[in-house]
């Protein structure tokens, strides 16, 4: 179908291009009926431009639309060429001082915690950087899209509303200047005309609902039968469902289906079929049929193509309007005017209204376009913003209802604009007073929650999924209410008061529906069958928490409002109580001669609810009243007389008793829902408006009651009245009732009740309850948190309640109470309590959970013991109560209280047989302490005319009256002081007695008379001293004993560490102090050590004994014994790569013989250094394999290692491994034959070898020619003339045991398999190459690490590294013995030919394309295969030396050829040293051989310097290589750090100090070799600049540079769009830290196929960038991601820290983040050391959930 249409499209294009915008505009200017004229134009052209086929052509459509449709409008508007017209308008414009930048998804936004009016006020990055706030305490977040920059909005900022850029314009702006004055009358008129027509057209067509019919004035004359089958987005169906359905319905590929689904998700709709009506209808029915069984079918419409065309143009038009008004504020004003003008149909008929009201019917794409237009027009114009706000408020109810039933996310609903309007304080105030917004919001909310119980309370029981979904949406209304209230009025008008109180009424109605909701009854006998629904109610409570607090804040700002609100609240509370207190009969209680009437009510038997918002609001208001001036001056004005204290306290008390009973285990059968409710009731998220307020309400009530009455009611509610009202009840109780549970229960209840009394008297830190301010309150919270343990900033923040601005107020006080300790390389910064704050510690702090309380108690006692103080934790000194609450202290000295205390002390004194507990006693002691502190303070503050009425000391000195005749409390305390069973509380009792004496003294002494020491105190003091001394002595003994034990333990520990040394070195730390580099032989410092060649230093053979970690047996490493192996991990690596774009295309054919100097992909080997018997390891591995198979059958779980790929964990350290390396003795010694002839020089040697090679090649050819006659062969051999004493038929005997041979093959095959990613094949000729390659590459990577860290080459290396390199080198040197001799010889010949050309090898790489170290290793390790057949007496050492010299010279030539790039003319003087003249001479030769293509001769100094620098890495690697190969100790000079050890290296490597002597000594052969190298065509191409080559020294690869400020990364990522879905913002932009690529991770759009599996962008990238290993930064999450292969991955802590030394993974806190260089270096080090995979392994072992993540989809 598409192909048929194609020519038609082309033809139309031409006719369209002939349109002239100027002419059309001219015609319009003349028109009498402009609307008709324009509509005709659109009707004719729009369908010709848009929707010409199954797929959109956006670029072509845009181009044509601009030419034919928009162009004329611009001409018309400007009255001239818009290319001149618009710039003129722009110039005349006085630009707005508002920024108004609309945020993209993921763009960073900034809010100032000091100056923003509320957290919704944000700045764009540019404005922020130019504002004063960058030096304030700011918060950074990423935008979810939508919303705009508030720069320039004076209402949004308390200070600094303008950034530098927007400040420029402020001076000129007159208040409310009409922007139209800058436009000419003509322009105004024309703009008005064209805007009115176009805006109306767009609205009309976008809201058009018919599917095949256009509005009459747009209908075409001839109508084609072309339709679209349009699929719409919903939030019900998943991607997978849509893709699946589409594939079935429209017969498309999966890829196309993904494309459709992605567009539908992004734009909200997409045509999935184009054709005649029938054809589209058919697709529609299939889609509907396929999805009808799900919650609801997918929405599909068959629409006529012309309708779709007009709608597409309508969208284009709206964007066009948005950009046109950018030219001038005048144009913007006109558009606003047009938009809000009421149409002929009156109310709600303006274009803006029409759009808003059809919002939920529009598709996503259309919504975002018009929302954006609203933001850039209506919300940017101060005058129209107000008018728009009114329209918005008037439609509010409808918009919200639409939103609730709509299924799109809130960000796609017009209702979401509320945040832009309601948070503007002046608008919010206006809407409250003029539109009664508060009441509207609350009523709308209530309308959506219709489920009520019989009493009219909300009921959330048995909520259906749909209702739950609706409930979630309804909650956005609460958010709106919050926005409205977010800034408190500074001035109140009468209207505002009236409307606010109206709103308050509505709010009370809402709370009334919550008061007592979800009531519960204690379950007895059976456990409840179904956990009741409780979350909905708590969600509501939680969401409302801030609103309730804000309501109180508003009330507090105006006394009149406060008093009115208080009255209203009280009235509602009384209504509530009327509802459900029936059936409670009155009873009378009496204790100690006091009696009170109350009702009979048992929490454990009747209904009780935890939801009491009305009581709690009243409590809040009461506190505010108490703070107000009225309360001090005219308390009679307050409506306090209407209060009935018993009524006030009743419900909060029940709630607290419920908590106590739950704690006592009485409600176990009610299940977890109740436990959860109690948890949240106390939780930091809720407690402010729940638990805290209940305590305040009790305080309020009690302060107005006789404390004795209160205590009796409380006893009754706790169901403890009997125990304390009946003398000796306790005794009877414990003897009669043997049921242990009940005793336990009652004990807990008594403890809880005492705790409550402590809280009622002690909790005075809310301003209004006590005489404190907000700072004191927050200080106290922090002190108590830090009393538990030192905490990180974020931990502290989490433990404190946040206000609606997400502030805890912590920063303002933290310095005063805590010290900050900086973080190290891991971990986070910590706050520690200042010691002087410890005295403010209150063990019974009401926000402690039980666990926290006991932790804090332990920590504080420990602290005291450390300071050698007594361990009593007496109550702290408290601030005085406010007057309204002052009488609360009398609880402490009330008769009933004294009776309770006395009773409990009595139980303790009579100790045995009574049911009492130590914590009960501890609480009583605390209460007594509080009372003493109180009395002391009263006495201290007493003024002349007042009498201190607090007489606790007197009361407790009096013994009990008849008939009980109990001893006084004081006497009992004195008795208890010596009770052996109360050791723990002794210090506290002593403290009480001491304080008692002090208080008594104060009371007795008059200020004038000196205080006489009473006898009692002296005695007490002296006994104390004695006691103290005794204690000190005991402590000393204890300390000594402890120290001894500690010493023993640390000794044992040291032992353990020695034995398991490796265990403590799990990470490959190069700076680890433990190490063993040297083969412990003592080396005389003056001896010259030589690592190779005929003069190699002979090392006495050392016997090596090792222990198997599996069977613990010790064994010597010997040639003929069983193999010992090291666990090893082989991996491909690109860490050293200089060319990341290169990768092996076809591994089966790839020839790895020559390593390119770009080192693009190497094979790295590492080991944890743990040694096992080969057979022990095999047994272990088999068992791992078997276990894994069983496990996979049982539960399809992944493990951190892949057994099928040969992976296992080291049995000792759990380090990831995939093979083993055999341990060997230096292999050279085994093969070395006696040298019985003079050793040849280089020239001779090369000749000999060349001859041998020639002979071999000849023989090889003979063998491969299928001539069956053996005689002919021998003839030819004769022809060849074998070199003297060369016996190619000789086969050396393999000296190794079978077991070692087997392991040589095992490791060789593993290297081959991993390095080339092929199936294992031990016969493959490439196996030996891969072994040598891995040895070379691993040495190179270690050399790089050492150089980068400025470590000496032979400095201390961790054992595991040392062991690994030694084994690896020796293994590689021995491997040829298990390979085919002729294969190895073949490799040698080919390698050799690359330097010494011969006829049979062509097509070898030129010397610029060979990594010389790899070549060296290959040649040296392959050489024995040739040498073993040579009986002329040339030693291996000679060969090594000549190979080394030859390769070194080739490398020098390589360096010279590539180094001469920069030339500075300054050093023209003659060469000053030998090397300089030598290098110049060499350079001249080169110049000659290259036919002068080499650049002109630079200075010798310069050349020498670059050769020296370029060759260093090679020399260092060679030194390591020969050191491990031959076991010659390293010269001591190279073991210490220092600058360059050039000379020492040369000596060690048997090189002349002047390297150029090599050339001079061997000039004969070298000249011809150099010539042959230079004549290579690639070298010529390079010199002629046609290709590039690697230069030396190669620089180390680093991870990319990260910016210091994290937000610039976020900004960078927000500008990044998905590379595959055309300009779409990526959801998870992820940065490759190796190469800096940004990827679109974790998303369908960027999945690619890799080895037959779909993988995400990151995994795909690791294969090209890191050969399977990747290090990424997930920018939105601020999280480092490690990936290895498809199944392995972990998250790693990011290198960004906030000012408190904490990372912010997930960017939840939004504190500014800065780069921590040390942590970043650590990540880089992991990469350099090839430890990323190992790190992942450890992380996955430690955290099993990481194993389950589908890493390949990231």
Q: Nearest approach, Cβ of 1672 to Zn ion (angstroms)?
A: 8
Sign of CA dihedral 699, 703, 705, 709: positive
Q: Nearest approach, Cβ of 62 to Zn ion (angstroms)?
A: 23
Question: Cβ closer to Zn ion: 240 or 434?
Answer: 240
Q: Which pair of tokens denotes residue 1091? A: 């690592």
Q: Nearest approach, Cβ of 818 to Zn ion (angstroms)?
A: 25
Q: Which pair of tokens denotes residue 403? A: 């939103």
Sign of CA dihedral 1096, 1102, 1108, 1111: positive
Q: Nearest approach, Cβ of 214 to Zn ion (angstroms)?
A: 37
Task: Tell me 877's DSSP state.
Answer: P
Q: Nearest approach, Cβ of 1140 to Zn ion (angstroms)?
A: 7
Question: Cβ closer to Zn ion: 115 or 1555?
Answer: 115
* Gap between the Cα atoms of 737 and 607, Å rounded: 28
Question: Cβ closer to Zn ion: 1459 or 1643?
Answer: 1643
Question: Cβ closer to Zn ion: 137 or 1247?
Answer: 137
Question: Cβ closer to Zn ion: 96 or 1241?
Answer: 96
Question: Cβ closer to Zn ion: 122 or 1551?
Answer: 122
Question: Cβ closer to Zn ion: 1068 or 1210?
Answer: 1210
Contact in structure between 431 and 437 (CB atoms under 8 Å)? yes
Q: Nearest approach, Cβ of 1348 to Zn ion (angstroms)?
A: 20
The percent of the chain in helix, strand and coil, each rounded to the nearest 5, is 55, 10, 35
Question: Cβ closer to Zn ion: 535 or 1202?
Answer: 1202
* Gap between the Cα atoms of 606 and 1396, Å rounded: 102
Report residue 14 CA to chain centroid gap: 55
* Gap between the Cα atoms of 599 and 583, Å rounded: 9
Report the SS3 class of residue 96: coil
Report residue 1507 CA to chain centroid gap: 47
Q: Nearest approach, Cβ of 1199 to Zn ion (angstroms)?
A: 17
Question: Cβ closer to Zn ion: 782 or 1640?
Answer: 1640
Question: Cβ closer to Zn ion: 1114 or 1350?
Answer: 1114
Q: 126 — phi, psi (to 5°)?
A: -65, -45
Q: Facing residues of 1114 across strands?
A: 1107
Question: Cβ closer to Zn ion: 138 or 1388?
Answer: 138
Q: What distances in angstroms separate CA 74 from CA 24, 83, 351, 1019, one per listed residue?
A: 11, 9, 22, 104
Q: How many residues does the chain have?
A: 1754
Question: Cβ closer to Zn ion: 973 or 1210?
Answer: 1210
Q: How many other C-beta atoms can be found within 10 angstroms of the C-beta atom of residue 1008?
A: 5
The radius of gyration of the chain's CA atoms, rounded to the nearest angstrom, is 44
Q: Nearest approach, Cβ of 476 to Zn ion (angstroms)?
A: 26
Q: Nearest approach, Cβ of 1688 to Zn ion (angstroms)?
A: 17
Contact in structure between 1337 and 1415 (CB atoms under 8 Å)? no
Q: Nearest approach, Cβ of 113 to Zn ion (angstroms)?
A: 8
Q: How many other C-beta atoms can be found within 10 angstroms of the C-beta atom of residue 682?
A: 16
Q: Nearest approach, Cβ of 1682 to Zn ion (angstroms)?
A: 13
Question: Cβ closer to Zn ion: 73 or 1680?
Answer: 1680
DSSP, residue by residue, 131-155? SGGGGS-EEEEEEES--B--TT-TT
Q: Nearest approach, Cβ of 1271 to Zn ion (angstroms)?
A: 55
Q: Which pair of tokens denotes residue 1072? A: 């680890």
Q: How many other C-beta atoms can be found within 10 angstroms of the C-beta atom of residue 1233?
A: 13
Report the SS3 class of residue 1177: helix
Q: What angle do CA 1412, 1414, 1417 make, to 5 degrees?
A: 110
Q: Nearest approach, Cβ of 1595 to Zn ion (angstroms)?
A: 17
* Gap between the Cα atoms of 1307 and 372, Å rounded: 64
Q: Which pair of tokens denotes residue 1360? A: 């595991």
Q: 1133 — phi, psi (to 5°)?
A: -145, 145
Task: Tell me 1496's DSSP state.
Answer: P
* Gap between the Cα atoms of 1506 and 1509, Å rounded: 5
Q: Nearest approach, Cβ of 132 to Zn ion (angstroms)?
A: 6
**Do strands 1714-1715 and 1696-1697 pair parallel, antiparallel, or not at all (unpaired)?**
antiparallel
Q: Nearest approach, Cβ of 372 to Zn ion (angstroms)?
A: 16
Cβ partners under 8 Å of residue 405, min gap 6: 360, 470
* Gap between the Cα atoms of 984 and 872, Å rounded: 9
Question: Cβ closer to Zn ion: 847 or 1132?
Answer: 1132
Question: Cβ closer to Zn ion: 151 or 1441?
Answer: 151
Q: Nearest approach, Cβ of 1135 to Zn ion (angstroms)?
A: 12
Q: Nearest approach, Cβ of 1655 to Zn ion (angstroms)?
A: 13
- Containing H/E element for 749? helix 740-762
Question: Cβ closer to Zn ion: 884 or 1618?
Answer: 1618
Question: Cβ closer to Zn ion: 103 or 996?
Answer: 103
Q: Would you tell me which residues interact with Zn ion (CB under 5 A)?
A: 99, 101, 112, 114-115, 124, 127, 133, 136, 149, 151, 163, 166, 1108, 1110-1111, 1168, 1170, 1173, 1176, 1210, 1212-1213, 1215, 1618, 1620, 1632, 1634-1635, 1637, 1640, 1643, 1645-1646, 1665
* Gap between the Cα atoms of 1626 and 1646, Å rounded: 10
* Gap between the Cα atoms of 728 and 964, Å rounded: 9
Closest CA to 673 of 460, 468, 466: 460
**Do strands 1688-1692 and 1696-1697 pair parallel, antiparallel, or not at all (unpaired)?**
unpaired
Judge residue 1572's burial from the number of C-beta atoms within 10 Å of its C-beta, 0-12 exposed, 13-18 middle, 19 or more buried: middle
Closest CA to 1423 of 1407, 1408, 1409, 1434: 1434
Q: Nearest approach, Cβ of 1172 to Zn ion (angstroms)?
A: 6
Question: Cβ closer to Zn ion: 213 or 1595?
Answer: 1595
Q: 1552 — phi, psi (to 5°)?
A: -65, 150
């Amino acid at each position: 179908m598409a192909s048929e249409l194609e020519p038609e499209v082309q033809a139309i294009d031409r006719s369209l291009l002939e349109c002239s915008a100027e002419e059309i505009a001219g015609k319009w200017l003349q028109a009498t009926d402009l609307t008709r004229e324009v509509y005709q134009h659109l009707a004719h052209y729009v369908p010709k431009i848009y929707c010409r086929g199954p797929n959109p052509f956006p670029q072509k459509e845009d181009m044509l639309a601009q030419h034919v449709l928009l162009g004329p409008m611009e001409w018309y508007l400007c009255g001239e060429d818009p290319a001149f017209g618009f710039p003129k308008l722009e110039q005349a414009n006085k630009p707005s001082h508002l920024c108004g930048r609309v945020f993209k998804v993921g763009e960073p936004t900034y809010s100032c915690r000091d100056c923003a009016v509320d957290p919704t006020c944000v700045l764009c990055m540019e404005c922020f950087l130019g504002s004063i706030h960058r030096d304030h305490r700011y918060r950074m977040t990423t935008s979810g899209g939508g919303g705009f920059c508030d720069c320039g909005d004076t209402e949004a900022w308390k200070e600094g509303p303008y950034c530098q850029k927007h400040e420029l314009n402020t001076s000129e702006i007159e208040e409310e200047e009409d922007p139209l004055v800058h436009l000419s009358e003509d322009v105004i008129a024309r703009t008005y005309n064209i805007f009115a027509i176009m805006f109306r057209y767009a609205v009309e067509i976008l809201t058009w609902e018919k599917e095949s019919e256009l509005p009459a004035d747009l209908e075409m004359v001839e109508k084609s039968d072309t339709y679209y089958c349009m699929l719409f987005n919903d939030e019900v169906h998943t991607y997978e469902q849509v893709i699946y359905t589409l594939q079935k319905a429209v017969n498309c590929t999966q890829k196309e289906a993904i494309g459709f689904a992605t567009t539908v998700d992004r734009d909200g709709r997409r045509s999935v079929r184009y054709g005649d009506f029938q054809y589209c209808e058919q697709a529609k029915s299939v889609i509907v049929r396929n999805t009808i069984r799900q919650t609801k079918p997918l929405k599909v419409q068959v629409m006529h193509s012309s309708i779709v065309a007009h709608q597409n143009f309508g969208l284009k038009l709206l964007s066009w309007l948005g950009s046109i008004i950018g030219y001038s504020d005048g144009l913007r004003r006109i558009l606003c005017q047009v938009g809000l003008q009421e149409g002929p149909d009156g109310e709600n008929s303006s274009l803006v209204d029409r759009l808003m009201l059809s919002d939920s019917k529009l598709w996503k794409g259309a919504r975002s376009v018009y929302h954006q237009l609203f933001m850039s027009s209506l919300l940017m114009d101060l005058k129209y913003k107000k008018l728009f706000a009114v329209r918005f408020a008037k439609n509010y109810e409808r918009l919200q209802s639409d939103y609730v039933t709509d299924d799109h996310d809130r960000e796609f609903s017009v209702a979401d604009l509320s945040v832009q309007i309601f948070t503007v304080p002046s608008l919010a105030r206006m809407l409250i007073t003029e539109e009664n917004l508060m009441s509207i919001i609350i009523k709308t909310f209530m309308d959506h929650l219709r489920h009520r119980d019989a009493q009219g309370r909300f009921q959330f029981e048995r909520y259906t999924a749909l209702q739950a979904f609706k409930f979630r949406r309804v909650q956005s209304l609460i958010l709106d209410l919050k926005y409205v209230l977010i800034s408190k009025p500074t001035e109140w008008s009468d209207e505002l008061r009236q409307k606010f109180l109206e709103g308050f009424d509505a709010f009370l109605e809402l709370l009334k529906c919550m008061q007592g909701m979800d009531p519960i009854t204690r379950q007895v006998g059976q456990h409840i069958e179904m956990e009741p629904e409780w979350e909905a109610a708590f969600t509501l409570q939680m969401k409302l928490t801030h609103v309730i607090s804000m309501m109180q804040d508003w009330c507090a700002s105006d006394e009149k409002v406060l008093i009115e609100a208080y009255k209203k609240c009280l009235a509602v509370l009384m209504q509530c109580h009327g509802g459900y207190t029936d059936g409670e009969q009155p009873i009378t209680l009496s204790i100690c001669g006091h009696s009170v009437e109350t009702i009979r009510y048992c929490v454990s038997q009747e209904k009780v609810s935890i939801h009491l918002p009305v009581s709690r609001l009243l409590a809040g208001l009461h506190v505010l009243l108490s703070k107000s001036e009225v309360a001090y001056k005219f308390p009679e004005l307050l409506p306090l007389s209407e209060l009935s204290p018993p009524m006030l306290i009743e419900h909060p008390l029940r709630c607290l008793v419920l908590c106590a009973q739950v704690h006592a285990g009485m409600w176990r059968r009610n299940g977890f829902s109740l436990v959860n409710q109690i948890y949240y009731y106390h939780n930091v998220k809720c407690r402010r408006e729940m638990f805290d307020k209940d305590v305040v309400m009790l305080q309020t009530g009690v302060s107005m009651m006789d404390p004795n009455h209160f205590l009796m009611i409380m006893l009754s509610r706790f169901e403890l009245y009997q125990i304390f009202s009946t003398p000796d009840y306790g005794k009877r109780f414990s003897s009669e009732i043997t049921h242990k549970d009940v005793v336990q229960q009652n004990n807990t209840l008594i403890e809880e009740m005492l705790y409550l009394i402590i809280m009622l008297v002690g909790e005075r830190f809310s301003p209004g309850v006590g005489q404190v301010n907000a700072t004191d309150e927050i200080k106290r919270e922090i002190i108590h948190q830090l009393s538990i343990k030192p905490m990180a900033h974020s931990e502290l923040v989490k433990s404190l309640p946040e206000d609606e601005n997400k502030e805890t107020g912590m920063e303002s006080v933290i310095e005063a109470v805590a010290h900050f300790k900086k973080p190290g390389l891991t971990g986070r910064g910590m706050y520690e309590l200042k010691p002087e704050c410890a005295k403010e510690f209150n063990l019974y702090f009401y926000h402690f959970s039980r666990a926290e309380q006991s932790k804090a108690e332990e920590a504080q006692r420990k602290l005291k013991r450390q300071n050698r103080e007594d361990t009593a934790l007496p109550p702290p000194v408290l601030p005085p109560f406010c007057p309204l609450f002052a009488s609360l202290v009398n609880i402490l000295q009330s008769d009933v209280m004294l009776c309770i205390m006395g009773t409990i002390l009595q139980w303790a004194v009579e100790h045995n047989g009574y049911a009492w507990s130590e914590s009960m006693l501890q609480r009583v002691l605390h209460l007594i302490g509080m009372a003493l502190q109180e009395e002391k303070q009263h006495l201290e503050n007493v003024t002349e005319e007042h009498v201190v009425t607090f007489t606790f000391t007197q009361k407790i000195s009096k013994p009990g009256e008849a008939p009980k005749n109990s001893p006084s409390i004081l006497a009992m305390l004195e008795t208890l002081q010596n009770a052996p069973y109360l050791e723990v509380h002794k210090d506290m009792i002593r403290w009480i007695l001491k304080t008692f004496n002090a208080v008594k003294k104060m009371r007795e002494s008059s200020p004038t008379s000196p205080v006489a020491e009473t006898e009692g105190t002296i005695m007490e003091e002296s006994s104390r001293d004695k006691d103290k001394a005794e204690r000190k002595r005991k402590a000393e003994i204890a300390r000594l004993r402890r120290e001894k034990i500690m010493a023993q333990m640390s000794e044992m520990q040291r032992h353990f560490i020695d034995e398991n040394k490796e265990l403590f070195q799990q990470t490959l730390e190069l700076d680890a102090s433990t190490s063993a580099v040297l083969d412990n032989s003592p080396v005389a410092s003056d001896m010259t050590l030589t690592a190779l060649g005929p003069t190699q230093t002979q090392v006495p053979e050392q016997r090596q004994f090792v222990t198997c970690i599996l069977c613990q047996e010790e064994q010597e490493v010997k040639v003929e014994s069983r193999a010992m192996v090291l666990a090893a991990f082989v991996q491909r690596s690109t860490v050293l790569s200089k060319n990341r774009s290169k990768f092996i295309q076809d591994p089966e054919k790839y020839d790895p013989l020559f390593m390119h100097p770009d080192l693009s992909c190497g094979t790295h080997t590492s080991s944890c250094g743990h040694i096992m018997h080969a057979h022990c390891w095999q047994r272990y591995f088999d068992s791992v394999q078997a276990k894994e198979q069983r496990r996979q059958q049982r539960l399809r779980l992944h493990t951190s290692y892949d057994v099928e790929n040969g992976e296992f964990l080291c049995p000792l350290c759990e380090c990831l491994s995939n093979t083993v390396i055999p341990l060997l003795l230096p292999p050279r010694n085994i093969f070395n034959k006696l040298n019985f002839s003079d050793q040849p020089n280089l020239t001779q040697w090369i000749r000999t070898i060349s001859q041998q090679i020639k002979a071999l090649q000849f023989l090889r050819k003979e063998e491969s020619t299928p001539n069956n006659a053996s005689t002919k062969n021998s003839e030819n051999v004769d022809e060849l003339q074998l070199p003297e004493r060369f016996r190619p038929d000789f086969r050396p005997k393999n000296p190794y045991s079978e077991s070692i041979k087997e392991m040589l093959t095992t490791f060789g095959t593993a290297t081959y398999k991993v390095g080339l990613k092929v199936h294992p094949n031990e016969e493959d000729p490439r196996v030996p190459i891969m072994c040598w390659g891995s040895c070379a590459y691993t040495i190179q990577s270690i050399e790089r690490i050492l150089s980068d860290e400025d470590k000496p080459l032979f400095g201390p290396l961790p054992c595991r590294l040392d062991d690994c390199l030694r084994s690896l080198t020796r293994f590689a040197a021995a491997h040829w013995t298990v390979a085919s001799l002729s294969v190895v010889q073949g490799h040698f010949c080919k390698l050799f030919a690359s330097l010494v050309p011969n006829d049979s090898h062509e097509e070898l790489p030129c010397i610029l394309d060979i990594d010389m170290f790899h070549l060296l290793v290959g040649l040296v390790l392959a050489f024995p295969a040739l040498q073993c057949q040579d009986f002329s007496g040339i030693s291996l050492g000679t060969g090594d030396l000549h190979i080394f010299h030859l390769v070194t010279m080739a490398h020098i030539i390589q360096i010279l050829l590539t180094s001469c790039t920069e030339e500075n003319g300054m050093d023209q003087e003659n060469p000053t040293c030998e090397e300089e003249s030598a290098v110049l001479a060499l350079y001249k030769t080169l110049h000659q051989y290259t036919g002068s293509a080499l650049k002109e001769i630079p200075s010798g100094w310069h050349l020498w310097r670059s050769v020296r620098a370029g060759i260093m890495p090679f020399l260092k690697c060679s030194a390591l290589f020969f050191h491990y190969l031959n076991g010659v100790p390293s010269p001591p000079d190279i073991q210490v750090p220092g600058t360059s050890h050039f000379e020492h290296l040369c000596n060690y490597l048997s090189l002349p100090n002047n390297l150029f002597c090599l050339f001079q000594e061997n000039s004969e052969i070298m000249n011809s070799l150099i010539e042959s190298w230079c004549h290579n065509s690639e070298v010529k191409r390079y010199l002629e600049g046609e290709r590039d080559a690697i230069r030396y020294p190669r620089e180390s690869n680093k991870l990319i540079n990260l910016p210091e400020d994290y937000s610039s990364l976020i900004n960078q990522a927000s500008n990044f769009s998905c590379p595959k879905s055309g300009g779409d913002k990526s959801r998870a932009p992820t940065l490759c830290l190796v190469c800096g690529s940004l990827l679109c991770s974790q998303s369908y759009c960027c999945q690619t196929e890799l080895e037959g599996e779909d993988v995400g962008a990151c995994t795909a990238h690791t294969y090209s960038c890191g050969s399977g290993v990747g290090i990424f930064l997930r920018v939105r999450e601020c999280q480092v991601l490690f990936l290895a292969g498809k199944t392995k991955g972990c998250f790693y802590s990011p290198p960004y820290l906030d000012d408190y030394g904490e990372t912010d993974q997930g960017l939840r806190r939004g504190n500014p983040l800065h780069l921590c260089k040390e942590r970043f270096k650590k990540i880089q080090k992991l990469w350099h050391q090839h430890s990323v995979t190992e790190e992942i392994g450890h992380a996955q072992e430690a955290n099993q959930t990481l194993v389950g993540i589908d890493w390949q989809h990231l």
